[in-house]
Amino acid sequence: MVEFVWKIGGEAGMGIMASGITLSKVFTRGGLNIVGYPEYPSLVRGGENTFQIKISDEEVRSPSKNNHLVVCLNKVSVDFLKNQIYQNGAIIYDENTTKINPGELRSDIKLFNVPLLKLATDNGGNIIMINTVALGASIAIMGYDITILEEMLAEMFAKKGAEVISQNVKTANAGFTYIMENYKSEVNAFTYKISKKNNNKKIVITGNEALALGAAIGGLKFYSVYPMTPSSSIMHYLAQKELDFDILVKQTEDEIAAVLYASGASYAGVRAATGTSGGGFSLMVEAIGMAAMTETPITIFLAQRTGPSTGMPTWTEQADLKFVLNASQGEFPRVIIAPGDATEAFIHSAKALNIAEKYQIPVVVLSDKYLSETYFSCEKFNIHKIKIERGRIITENMKDLPLSTRYKRYEITKDGISPRPIPGVIGGIHVASSYEHDETGYSSEHFKTRAAMVDKRMRKLGYIENEMDMPKLYGAPDAEITMVCWGSHKGIALDSIKLLEKEGINANVLHFIYLFPLNAKKIRKIFNNFNKTIIIENNRTAQFAGILKEYTGLKSNFKLLKYSARQFFAEEIAEEIKKLKEKNWKSKKEIHITDDFEYDYFSTEKIS
């Protein structure tokens, strides 16, 4: 396997994101696999932004702690990134704008001093285009094909005309040529290289874009939302594709309005959803309870970030799971789905809409900042495998009801699902309110009726359990230790398997997409085959471990927890499991880790 990790850092406004996305596509055009991982602070303006691309000729699923080549567009990025460079790695910088003092770097780090600003301006560009020069210089050092970058720039700027295309291609080539003319021997001696594999193009997509696309293919017709990081790009994607998919996107005044718009649209017979993060979901819970009482389907895309309150808005965590499981007062069925990668996000976004309508319940698709905004290379999604199932919805007129009677909208059935006529259907008139009710929807305080309605709604869970995907096992079934994870940490755990193999440790991964309800009998049977288990969660209290124990009786041997506002890295997981093995699996049962690298954007000492 050939692997290369590239990273760019600089102040917001320097085109960090654009550079990362561009280069990600350049590598996938060469048949390579990538993970593009951005980091940025919660600032209206300023702050240090970074974008890392991990590139491989084999499957790659997660970012890396260290880098082979770093582009530093200012001195702050040097300070932040200098300790994240592999042995004999390199830095591209411009000494005219970024001073590096002798002795502040390890002696093995190679320095490529490139006059980024001068090359940009001398070739018809400006300060905004120094990142384009840096891309050309990077391509030269890593030994990649500059023509693929030229083709990508031509595509990106096609709508802006030939002059803009020529300017960008020229500045990229200026960076490439400068390296080849001034550092030819250093480039030849640079041991880390990546080259084109084949012409099999792959798509580059974020988790949020995959969720949005899956929903659109899955029949979504109305999306009401109030923007909240990191869920906002679902709205952005759907808004751009409104005409393509015949979808209406409505930006509301707040999250309460967003969930009520979606509920109203769904009640009217339109496949609808909303999206938010933890703080916005807090405002939605009352309306979620009303949707549960009226048995109105609703799908909510919840992208987790750190909490409580505002927390750290642009950083990640998996700490909203129990909140989602218990949101709103009372007891009612719900489904929680947590895709592990972009492909799963696409598939299970569409499935979420089906489940919501089929069982007439709230469904929450749980992601996080890491999955939401990270870029993944994928094979093209198979849209023909997506099926739209609307359940027992009645859209055609029925036999008219006798006078003074109402349709039994909440008829007690064996599976708890009652046929759902949309408003205006003849013969389907009924009451739908937030009150407990009888079969017609008429409010009732009759005790036996109340118990019967609770039982009716909860009966759905047994049927849901039988059709939900079971957790999937990756790796050798007889492994020494099984990593149990959910949601976005699938790829990170899978990448740690290879690292553990190098240490002589045989590990596998059990990944959960469907977090609730849980089929206790089937899950216990799966766990019976494991030797030792370690649950990996991006929160402080091992929330899924608690849910697993409550609903299945299962308890893991170890818990590995991280809650410093960053996701795990594969290196961290492998290191902790290696320590456990060295201690003959006799160690404390709960392990907490944090980042050994500090990224304090608000530190005046670092940004002055």
> Tell me, what's the pLDDT at 608?
42
CA 231, CA 278: separation in Å to the nearest integer?
10
Superfamily covering domain 204-385: Thiamin diphosphate (ThDP)-binding fold, Pyr/PP domains (3.40.50.970)
Helix (H) or strand (E) holding 48: strand 48-56
Phi, psi of 470 (to 5 degrees): -80, 160
Going by the DSSP 8-state scheme, the letter that residue 442 receives in this structure is -
Nearest Cα to Cα of residue 361 among 450, 299, 277, 453: 299
> Which DSSP state fits 443?
B
C-alpha distances (whole Å) from 312 to each of 43, 297, 322 are 11, 31, 19
Position 599 scores a pLDDT of 64
Q: Which residues of 345-364 are buried (b: 16+ CB within 10 A; e: fewer)?
A: bbbbbbbbbbbbbbbbbbbb
Tokens of 58: 């084999």
Residue burial 456-491, b: 16+ Cβ < 10 Å; e: rest: bbebbbebbbeebebbebbbeeebbbbbbbbbbbbb
What pLDDT digit, counting tens, does each position of 180-211 carry? Answer: 999 999 999 999 999 999 988 899 999 999 99
C-alpha to C-alpha distance for 524 and 218, rounded to whole angstroms: 32
For residue 381, the 8-state DSSP code is: P
* CATH domain 470-593 topology: Rossmann fold (3.40.50)
Rounded-to-integer distance, Cα 116 and Cα 125, Å = 11
Dihedral, 507, 466, 298, 311 alpha carbons, nearest 10: -30
Q: How far is the C-alpha of 31 from the C-alpha of 497, rounded, in Å?
A: 24
Q: What is the pLDDT of residue 604?
A: 41
Per-domain residue ranges of the chain: 3-201, 204-385, 392-468, 470-593
- Backbone Cα Rg of the chain: 26
Residue numbers of the chain with a pLDDT score lower than 50 = 604, 606-608
Phi/psi for 400 (5° steps) reads -65, 150
The tens digit of pLDDT for each residue in 274-318 reads 999 999 999 999 999 999 999 999 999 999 999 999 999 999 999
415-to-137, 410, 455, 463, 464 alpha-carbon distances in Å? 63, 12, 10, 7, 10
Count the residues in the chain.
608
Instruction: Tell me the three state secondary structure of residue 360.
Output: coil
Fold of domain 3-201: Pyruvate-ferredoxin Oxidoreductase; domain 3 (3.40.920)
Neighbour-count burial of 75, counting CB atoms closer than 10 A to its CB (0-12 exposed, 13-18 middle, 19+ buried): middle
**Nearest one of 62, 60, 80, 61 to 70, comparing CA atoms:** 80
> What are the φ/ψ torsions at residue 457 (nearest 5 degrees)?
-65, -45
DSSP string, 79-127: HHHTTSEEEEEEEEE-TTT----TTSS-TT-EEEE--HHHHHHHTT--G
pLDDT digits (tens, 9 = 90+) for 570-592: 999 999 999 999 999 998 999 99
Q: 231 with 207: CB under 8 angstroms?
A: no
Name the residue among 213, 293, 285 with its Cα closest to residue 256. 285
User: In what order do the strands lie in the sheet containing 272-276?
Assistant: 248-251, 222-225, 272-276, 298-304, 362-368, 335-337, 514-516
Question: What amino acid occupies position 608?
Answer: S
* Residue whose C-alpha is closest to residue 116's, from 74, 72, 175, 169: 175
Asked whether this chain's domains 3-201 and 470-593 adopt the same fold, the reply is: no
Q: Where are the beta strands (DSSP E) in 203-314?
A: 203-206, 222-225, 248-251, 272-276, 298-304
pTM (predicted TM-score): 0.96
First CA to last CA distance, the chain:
41
Of 27, 62, 34, which is closest to residue 498 (Cα–Cα)?
62
pLDDT recorded at residue 1: 81
